[in-house]
Structure 1
């Protein structure tokens, strides 16, 4: 018993200090629901930047591709030299042991942390979700208060029909259960008992309820109480009018819900279109080796990352537009932005981008490497890559992005049930070593093609 009393006493003390701070420093709900989450989101971004997390830049992508290509050419050259030495040794009757070069994996601390765009999505969600939830529940509470106030006006009109004046009738009603506005009505009634005027007490109640609709009808109630006449009938008609306005607002919101569905479907269509572009059209265009103005090759542009940024921004601003159109205020669109961003992010990391950081697969070439062909014609044998997870298990139905450099044509594909993917590229017409790169997640595998006798 004493323990319960102590808890109640501490709760009342804390509530009193919170009220004092709120009145003295004019603390608003937005300071807690929006200001603090924004500070937390900025702190998350700051820590991420300080710990080495960065965006994926075109320079880094191009530099990585150039390094991979150079390393692959060097490996192909060393393998060719080793084969020539082995052939010469065989002619002399000697046996030369060929040592396989083992490449050590890059230490985890030295891997590039290019996932800042993922962290930024999480930071945006941290910043807007508390405010969006608070706005949603505050709106629901406001709607309940407006309905309860219309019932209060109806009950007050019935009391006034019995000959009770507005002040006494309001005080008597405050002692009953008025739903979500019980505390507001009790505060106004207490103010009347302490000698405050009916007008001042009702306006205080209006301010505490924070409803423009309630404020408008409270003005009508106050004016009716002071002018006299058939106030009971006036209050009855006013309560009926307020109920009609509330019903019209609900019907309006119900009719506008179709636009919410349209915006959500549009966001889904954008995600699916970008997925089709990334898996079908863009790999074909990039494989051709076309160049844009400035000499930048299409294969060097990270279209998937650009699509990812576009989709997330469209989800953010699309949600705000939904709030403005359907509910008349942008702040009510944050909940739609949070939902759209979450769904779009899951779709993007599933379809367009790798969800994790670092290599999540192992990509090896199992056949078709090192073929010598004429330039400008398809390979006689396909190049087959094998994609496995870190435990060596095959990874089926996984998208593998293919590219060939310095030029040529190639098509991306999905892995088979055994984790393999076969590709038949068409190298360019110039003589030299061509590098075929298979990208699964953030892991790559390479194969070489040697073109001889092509057109210069």
Structure 2
């Protein structure tokens, strides 16, 4: 009888704790979502005003309504691509945060179990705000267990919701240990230690390939744009030189023939820009794959690489044109 009363009391405490933590989490989540929505609205308004001003200046300078329309439309499309990419990256970052805080969560749960708490209460007490956004998933698991679901089923559903292969495999390992009749607190503690070791190994591997990442970044952001700028300037200078020579009668036998260059300098210019952008996109994916083991991790470098590479290209091209014009007239 006393055991039943104690069990009922523990369950009541667990429900109270769950309700309190759930209320705090929902209030915090509501504030974060509201702040993020207002921030995105402000960014869109400022971007729209800025693009209207840029398009108006472009139209005044070129008097070309079609190009101005395409400029504005292209900028809007790029903005929505940015929003979509940012959303996907945020989701990926949330999963990474969960993976990093998962060892601490199961270690804390193990400590709570050794302190004599029931599984449901130990799990709910472990849902600290420091583990956000994992705390929401922990509370959902606690809710499922309190309503009568098996702990293995609740954990499996948690693994499916998080969409992390590492957490899913860890949960499968814990469930296998539970079904084989092992001590849950010891199992959780050992799993936590193994996850921490794996995270440490991954970080050390990332530091070992740092030189490769720096080399790729420098080659794509600085080296390649400099070479493209030099080649595009040389094509323009040679085209102008050969255009003046082509009309002159040459009486000396030469091992080569000077003819007009059929490729326009504008084509070379736009080809360089397109190739630089494509190269930056692929380089950012390679950086993510080399440093973190996932192409997605490199998407955050994409915009930075493109901006730096194009800036280097235009600045170096301007200096080279100025130098060659002053040297050769």
Q: CA deviation at 1:296?
A: 5.2
Q: Runs (4+) of structure 1 moved beyond 6 Å?
A: 112-121, 290-293
- Which residue does 1:313 correspond to in 2? 278
5 Å-filtered alignment, 1:290-369, equals 297=261, 300-302=264-266, 303-352=268-317
Distance, in Å, in 2 between the alignment partners of 1:225 and 1:200 is: 12
Q: CA deviation at 1:346?
A: 2.6
- Which residue does 1:217 correspond to in 2? 170
The reply to whether residue 239 of structure 1 matches residue 192 of structure 2 is yes
Deviates most, 193-202 or 306-315: 306-315
As a proportion of its length, which structure holds more helix? 2
Q: CA deviation at 1:191?
A: 1.2
Q: CA deviation at 1:213?
A: 1.2
Distance, in Å, in 2 between the alignment partners of 1:117 and 1:258 is: 41
Distance, in Å, in 2 between the alignment partners of 1:352 and 1:331 is: 32
- Which residue does 1:207 correspond to in 2? 160
Gaps of 5+ in 2: 1-22, 34-39, 45-50, 247-255
Q: CA deviation at 1:334?
A: 2.5
Distance, in Å, in 2 between the alignment partners of 1:109 and 1:286 is: 25
Distance, in Å, in 2 between the alignment partners of 1:158 and 1:111 is: 70
Distance, in Å, in 2 between the alignment partners of 1:149 and 1:325 is: 24
Q: TM-score when scaled to structure 1? A: 0.48
Distance, in Å, in 1 between the alignment partners of 2:65 and 2:154 is: 64
Distance, in Å, in 1 between the alignment partners of 2:294 and 2:62 is: 46
Q: CA deviation at 1:273?
A: 1.4
Distance, in Å, in 1 between the alignment partners of 2:291 and 2:240 is: 42
Distance, in Å, in 2 between the alignment partners of 1:257 and 1:120 is: 39
5 Å-filtered alignment, 1:47-62, equals none
Gaps of 5+ in 1: 1-7, 19-32, 38-43, 54-106, 354-396, 402-411, 415-420, 424-456
Q: CA deviation at 1:186?
A: 1.1
Per-residue CA distance 1:70-102 (angstroms, 9 max, x = gap): xxxxxxxxxxxxxxxxxxxxxxxxxxxxxxxxx
Q: CA deviation at 1:338?
A: 1.7
- Which residue does 1:154 correspond to in 2? 107
Q: Is this contact kept in 1: 2:242–2:260, CA < 8 A?
A: no
Which residue, 137, 142, 147 being the options, matches 1:194? 147
- Which residue does 2:6 correspond to in 1? none
The reply to whether residue 179 of structure 1 matches residue 131 of structure 2 is yes
5 Å-filtered alignment, 1:23-422, equals 122=75, 125-126=78-79, 128-174=81-127, 176-177=128-129, 179-180=131-132, 181-267=134-220, 268-280=222-234, 283-284=237-238, 286-289=240-243, 297=261, 300-302=264-266, 303-352=268-317, 399=321, 412-414=324-326
- Which residue does 2:16 correspond to in 1? none
Q: Is this contact kept in 1: 2:225–2:310, CA < 8 A?
A: no
Per-residue CA distance 1:373-411 (angstroms, 9 max, x = gap): xxxxxxxxxxxxxxxxxxxxxxxx79459xxxxxxxxxx
Aligned residues: 268
Q: CA deviation at 1:321?
A: 2.8
